[in-house]
């Protein structure tokens, strides 16, 4: 009597265990979880989970994906690669997310890339820029194919900057010379190389190239050195810093305009943080207030502003789109299996808030990077003018003309 009872007990236990082990996948079957790993304390990063949540709410309000609701699971990585890796492992192994939207910092995304492959969990970055991310996928497609680059690579950013500089500076202000000023970080290495390649082709001679440590606080020597070279324009590549060089540019009244990538300038709070010193600064962006890049842009900005009381950072726009095209890919794949999702994501053709999203195909040197150009994603150039971000390029979407503070001397006014 005793023995069979024990055997039965064991069998029940065992089957319970087996059941429990297979549970998570099944039990989560009615919701689709998307992990969001971001930098909650920074302005650029804090928009990422907020925008993803907004997208999930909108999808859920319309019935979800094939009847399944989307749940956003957020993790704060404190701008640290180590924290981000731990969050990724937890997202994939314990929280069983189907895909991850991760970080605007290239170093963090590069640390996550191998984990995305190992754990076979698709990951899309809404804001990192380093070309190495996509180069790694090209180098070892089988292992790294789970990573997608949902924002422009540094190489594309440099090219778009040159396109805008051609119209705004060379044709408009007859400028001929520039100094490149960028922070020393993973994303600026390909950016600077891109600048050095494309600026001469549009007729701008590069006089000097200054890379500075991202912990620089005193920019006086940098601006003085640049001024000594007498360039027509400073071409920027800054993201980790922003407020300090901008404020010191104004307080020292550096007479040279700044144009380029200045991620922090895309934030609506930048005017306040710099006490208005950003007046006249020209920066690249994928979207801007009041600029209807697509029909989805302005409704998104309105909804975000209504829900959170502030405007999304650049990574907010991309994170919002990413939730939509992940949902679409899951619908097309009919599954949340990592491998099938990768194939479905590769076929993405989605018009989002920043343009039409399509990924470069396997075989390309920047596979899983965004396709750019007219009709896809072409980017914008905006200028801070009297507390507002005014779009000045491309001409078709421009809302005003260039205007610089009085201390800035442009070739045209010299």
Total residues in contact with another protein, by rule CB under 8 A: 37
The number of residues in the chain equals 414
Nearer to another protein, 30 or 386 (CB): 386
The answer to whether the bond into 107 is cis (omega within 30° of 0) is: no
CB of 217 to another protein, least distance (A): 5
Angle at 343 between CA 337 and CA 348, to 5 degrees: 115
Q: Tell me which residues in 46-105 interact with another protein (CB under 8 A).
A: 46, 79
Specify the stretch interacting with another protein by CB under 8 A; choose among 42-50, 130-138, 331-339, 360-368.
42-50
User: Within positions 174 to 233, which residues make up the interface with another protein, using CB under 8 A?
Assistant: 184, 210-213, 215-222, 224-225
Residues 6+ apart with CB under 8 A from 235: 161, 165, 178, 179, 180, 181, 195, 199, 259, 260
Smallest gap from residue 389 Cβ to another protein (A): 16
Write the interaction track for another protein spanning residues 327-356; mark x where CB under 8 A is met and - where it is not.
Answer: ------------------------------
List the helix and strand counts (H, then E) for the chain: 15, 14
**CA–CA dist 69, 72 (Å, integer):** 10
Shorter beta-carbon distance to another protein: residue 52 or 265: 265
Q: Map the footprint of another protein across residues 227-266, applying CB under 8 A.
A: 241-244, 247-248, 251-253, 264
CB nearer to another protein: give 120 or 209.
209
Residue 171's φ and ψ, nearest 5 degrees, are -75, -40
State which residue, 166 or 250, has the beta carbon closest to another protein.
250
Q: Which is nearer to another protein, 187 or 324 (CB)?
A: 187
**Alpha carbon distance 165, 379 (integer Å):** 13
Closest to 176 measured CA to CA, from 107, 113, 256, 112:
256
Smallest CA-to-CA distance from 282 within 114, 169, 396 is with: 169
Residues within the interface to another protein (CB under 8 A): 41-43, 46, 79, 184, 210-213, 215-222, 224-225, 241-244, 247-248, 251-253, 264, 267, 269, 272-275, 277
């Amino acid at each position: 009597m005793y023995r069979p009872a024990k055997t039965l007990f064991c069998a029940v236990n065992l089957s319970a265990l087996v059941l429990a082990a297979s549970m998570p996948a099944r039990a989560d079957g009615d919701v689709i979880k998307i992990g969001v790993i971001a930098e909650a304390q920074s302005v650029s990063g804090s928009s990422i989970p907020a925008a993803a949540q907004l997208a999930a709410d909108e999808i859920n309000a319309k019935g979800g994906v094939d009847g399944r609701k989307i749940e956003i699971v957020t993790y704060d990585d404190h701008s640290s690669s180590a924290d981000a890796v731990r969050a990724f492992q937890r997202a994939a192994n314990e929280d069983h997310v189907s895909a991850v939207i991760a970080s605007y910092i290239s170093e963090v995304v590069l640390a996550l890339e191998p984990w995305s492959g190992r754990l076979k969990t698709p990951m899309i970055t809404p804001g990192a820029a380093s070309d190495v991310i996509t180069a790694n996928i090209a180098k070892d497609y089988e292992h790294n194919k789970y990573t997608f680059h949902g924002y422009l690579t540094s190489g594309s950013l440099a090219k778009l900057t040159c396109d805008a500089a051609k119209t705004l500076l060379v044709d408009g202000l007859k400028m001929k010379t520039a100094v490149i000023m960028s922070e020393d970080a993973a994303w600026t290495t390909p950016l600077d190389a891109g600048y050095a390649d494309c600026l001469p082709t549009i007729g701008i001679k590069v006089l000097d190239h200054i890379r500075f440590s991202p912990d620089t606080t005193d920019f006086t020597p940098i601006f003085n050195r640049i001024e000594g070279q007498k360039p027509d324009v400073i071409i920027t590549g800054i993201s980790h810093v922003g407020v300090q060089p901008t404020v010191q540019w104004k307080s020292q009244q550096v007479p040279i305009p700044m144009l380029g990538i200045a991620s922090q300038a895309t934030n609506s709070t930048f005017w306040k943080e710099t006490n208005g010193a950003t007046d006249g600064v020209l920066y690249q962006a994928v979207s801007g207030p009041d600029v209807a890049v697509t029909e989805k842009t302005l409704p998104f900005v309105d909804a975000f502003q209504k829900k959170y009381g502030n405007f999304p950072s650049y990574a907010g726009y991309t994170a919002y789109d990413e939730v939509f095209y992940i949902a679409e890919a899951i619908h097309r794949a009919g599954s949340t299996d990592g491998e099938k999702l990768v194939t479905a994501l590769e076929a993405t053709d989605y018009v989002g808030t920043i343009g039409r999203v399509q990924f470069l195909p396997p075989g390309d040197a920047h596979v899983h990077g965004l396709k750019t150009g007219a009709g896809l994603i072409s980017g914008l150039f905006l200028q801070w003018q009297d507390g507002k971000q005014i779009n000045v390029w491309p001409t078709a979407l421009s809302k005003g003309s260039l205007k610089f503070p009085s201390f800035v001397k442009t070739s045209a006014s010299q």
